[in-house]
């Protein structure tokens, strides 16, 4: 009677055909010794060991799968590995998969267990050239433990890299590949190879030019990209883009928003001063951000037809009939003679729900300019407001002096208390631990009082400056609007109006309505009360609603309880009267709001 063959021997007999799986986790490993082997030294080494293992097992290698430069923690992100599994499940012509080491294949112990189970369903073994655990329960346990330790090593290595990258960022180092306009280079410093960053002498000047062009407000991102191409900017060729090409619009948009170009490093939401050479100064970068923000705030998609009113105009007909907020967009129409006609029209016409006729752009421009005359403040109202502001500022100064005296008195008391504790410590009258604790409390109180002393007179004065700016701005807004260029008009519209509503009357004339932003809306309501035929002027009472006066109090105020205009100040500070690169509001000087002109 023939003897039965053991399970182990049956498996050994079944192993006849094999595939190799070779992998590196980065392209840099593929480039090592590339002059000798195009696939690099690592793949070449793995292949030699895998072929030697196949020879020892007496199996035929029917295919080879190479995963080049794919650094993925899970096998789901490795396309070649998934291709190999698909071949095994569909063709079923493989008896074993030979790998170099388990750590080269599995960075996750869960993936290792799932893959082992999948291969066993088709009678396929996973063979490592560097690890031989044998057979049986202990061997499987050792495999599992190895996979867990490989996973742990990957996690610890990742945490170590993150820590080192964070430290490099804090020291101003570049932790990513340099953006266009810079180059990663290696320099010799004291006979040591040091990786550093240098300005790209070819593309760097083009990037600065991109910022300068966009900062004029006369170019869209698409137009800047085309201008750079026309002047000679070409992106590096690579395997994905072997052809000659300029910078894409999306790439340029990222460039214009990246503060790396003005000298900053960003890591995990924190900003650090970089050691690389800035390509653009901070004020130029800030100017570009203001223009980009103004276009985004208007939710304007600038493609071909751009106009300073785009994003600020809404359909008055849709608002009047259906209560809907629909934007007006630009269309350029060309007749058979090549004449171009420009119109604003409601986007509701796409849905066939708006009957507002097309409005020629020239008529809309003229109507908006005329409408600016309706939002001016009268001289009487401005005078009343300024009188109330002066009174409130005087009250604040009196309150501030009282608070400063109280805070200074408390600080002196703390100094005396601190001196007494130091004397007690010298005499040994109190335990050292208690003295240190009390001194820490005194330090905290001093810091808190010093902060209050610094902030106590800022809140109301900032709000008063904003109100004064509003009064100056709308003293003659129509004349100001006429003096502005297109970019300044865009910013002025966005500073004053939530929306400008375009409609047409029965005669076909363009009519403009508006919704004012705050505090302009509240101030206009105050002016309406001021002009009412009955009752005394209400400007002071309304001003209190916009800008609450400080109350006299016997104790120092809590930080952050000052003027009520701090929220609106952020919106006003972005207006066309703001000093570039500054958070301060520009008050009217010798030239008022007139654009500066040459004296030549």
Look at 359 and 436; give whichever has higher pLDDT.
359
Q: Which of 574, 524, 510, 570 shows the shortest CA–CA distance to 313?
A: 510
Q: What is the pLDDT of residue 203?
A: 94
* Cβ-proximal residues to 214 (8 Å cutoff; 6+ apart), any chain: 221, 224, 256, 288, 291, 292
The DSSP element (H or E) to which 360 belongs, if any, is: strand 359-360
Q: Which of 154-158, 352-356, 408-412 has the highest mean pLDDT?
A: 352-356
Check if the beta carbon of residue 177 is closer than 8 Å to that of residue 184: yes
> Does position 370 have pLDDT exceeding 50, yes or no?
yes
Pairing type for strands 192-199 and 182-189 reads antiparallel
Distance CA 499, CA 368 (A): 12
CB atoms within 10 A of CB 278: 17
Give the pLDDT of residue 458. 54
DSSP 3-state of 338: coil
CB 155 within 8 A of CB 125: no
User: Residue 503: pLDDT band by 50, 70, 90 thresholds?
Assistant: very high
Q: Is the pLDDT of residue 205 over 90?
A: yes
Q: What is the mean pLDDT of the chain?
A: 77
Kindly tell me the burial class for residue 223, based on how many C-beta atoms sit within 10 Å of its own C-beta (0-12, 13-18, 19 or more).
middle
Q: What are the tokens at 312?
A: 């600020």
pLDDT > 90 fraction of the chain, expressed in percent and rounded: 19
pTM to 2 decimal places = 0.42
Question: What is the pLDDT, as a whole number, of residue 38?
Answer: 54
For residue range 63-106, list pLDDT tens digits in order.
999 887 655 556 677 788 888 889 988 888 888 999 888 887 78
- DSSP letters, 483-526, are HS-HHHHHHHHHHHEEEEEEEE-TTS-EEEEEEEPTTHHHHHHH
For residue 429, pLDDT over 80 is answered with: no
Asked whether the beta carbons of 210 and 255 are under 8 A apart, the reply is: yes
The confidence score (pLDDT) of residue 8 equals 44
Q: How is residue 585 annotated by DSSP? A: B
DSSP one-letter string for 123-186? T-EEEESS----SSHHHHHHHHHHHHHHHHHHHHHHHHHHHHHHHHHHTT---SPPPTTEEEEE
Q: What's the average model confidence in pLDDT over 199-222? A: 91
Average pLDDT on 221-244 reads 87
Torsion of CA 113, 116, 122, 127, to 10 degrees: 180
Confidence of residue 279 (pLDDT cuts 50, 70, 90): very high
Identify the three-state secondary structure at position 273: strand
pLDDT for 453 equals: 66
Q: What are 452-478's pLDDT values in tens digits? A: 766 655 555 666 777 787 888 888 899
Domains recognised in the chain with CATH numbers: 7-163 (3.40.50.1390), 182-297 (3.90.1750.20), 312-600 (no CATH)
Give pLDDT, residue 28. Answer: 54
User: Above 60 in pLDDT, residue 439?
Assistant: yes
pLDDT band at 252 (very low <50, low <70, confident <90, very high): very high
Instruction: Note the pLDDT of residue 556.
Output: 35
CB distance 280 to 261 below 8 Å: yes
């Amino acid at each position: 009677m023939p003897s039965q063959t053991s399970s182990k021997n049956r498996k050994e007999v079944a192993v006849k055909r094999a595939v190799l799986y070779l992998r590196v986790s980065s392209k840099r490993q593929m480039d090592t010794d590339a002059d000798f082997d195009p696939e690099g030294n690592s793949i070449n080494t793995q292949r030699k060991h895998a072929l030697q293992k196949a020879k020892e097992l007496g199996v035929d290698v029917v295919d080879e799968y190479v995963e080049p430069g794919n650094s993925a923690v899970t096998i789901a992100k490795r396309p070649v590995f998934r291709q190999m599994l698909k071949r095994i499940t569909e063709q079923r012509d493989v008896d074993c998969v030979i790998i170099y080491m388990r750590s080269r294949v599995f960075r996750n112990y869960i993936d290792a267990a799932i893959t082992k189970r999948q291969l066993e369903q088709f009678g396929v073994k996973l063979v490592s050239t560097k690890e031989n655990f044998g057979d049986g329960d202990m061997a499987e346990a050792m495999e599992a433990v190895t996979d867990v330790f490989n996973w742990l090593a990957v996690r610890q290595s990742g945490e170590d890299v993150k820590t080192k990258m964070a430290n490099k960022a804090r020291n101003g180092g570049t932790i990513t590949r340099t953006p266009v306009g810079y180059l990663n280079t290696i320099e010799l410093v004291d006979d040591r190879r040091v990786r550093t960053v240098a300005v790209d002498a070819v593309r760097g000047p083009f990037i600065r030019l991109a910022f300068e062009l966009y900062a004029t407000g006369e170019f869209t991102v698409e137009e800047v990209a085309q201008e750079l191409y026309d002047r000679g900017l070409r992106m590096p060729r690579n395997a994905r883009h072997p052809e000659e090409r300029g910078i894409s619009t999306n790439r340029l948009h990222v460039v214009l928003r990246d503060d790396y170009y003005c000298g900053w490093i960003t890591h995990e939401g924190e900003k650090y001063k970089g050691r690389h050479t800035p390509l653009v100064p901070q004020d130029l970068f800030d100017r570009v951000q203001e223009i980009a923000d103004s276009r985004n705030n208007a939710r304007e998609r600038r493609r071909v037809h751009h106009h300073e009113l785009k994003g600020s105009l809404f359909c008055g007909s849709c608002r009047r009939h259906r209560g809907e907020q629909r934007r007006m967009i630009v269309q350029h129409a060309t007749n058979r003679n090549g004449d171009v006609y420009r119109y604003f029209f409601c986007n509701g016409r796409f849905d066939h729900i708006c009957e507002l006729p097309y409005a020629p752009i020239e008529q809309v421009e003229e109507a908006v300019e005329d409408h600016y005359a309706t939002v001016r403040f009268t001289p009487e109202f401005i005078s009343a407001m300024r009188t109330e502001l002066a009174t409130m500022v005087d009250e604040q100064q009196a309150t501030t002096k009282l608070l400063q005296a109280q805070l200074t008195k408390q600080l002196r008391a703390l100094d005396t208390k601190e001196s007494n504790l130091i004397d007690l410590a010298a005499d040994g009258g109190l335990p050292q631990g208690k003295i240190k604790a009390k001194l820490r409390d005194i330090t905290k109180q001093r810091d808190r009082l010093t902060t209050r002393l610094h902030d106590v007179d800022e809140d109301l004065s900032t709000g008063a400056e904003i109100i004064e700016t509003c009064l100056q701005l709308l003293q003659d807004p129509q004349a100001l609007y006429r003096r502005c260029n297109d970019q300044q008009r865009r910013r002025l519209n966005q500073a004053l109006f939530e929306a400008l509503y375009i409609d047409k009357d029965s005669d076909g004339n363009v009519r403009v309505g508006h919704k004012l932003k705050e505090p302009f809306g509240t101030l206009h309501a105050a002016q309406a009360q001021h002009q009412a035929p009955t009752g005394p002027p209400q400007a002071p009472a309304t001003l209190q609603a916009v800008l609450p006066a400080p109350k006299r109090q016997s104790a120092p105020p809590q930080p952050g309880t000052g003027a009520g205009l701090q929220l609106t100040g952020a919106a006003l500070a972005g207006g066309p009267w703001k000093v570039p690169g500054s958070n301060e509001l520009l008050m009217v000087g010798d030239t008022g709001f007139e654009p500066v002109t040459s004296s030549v």
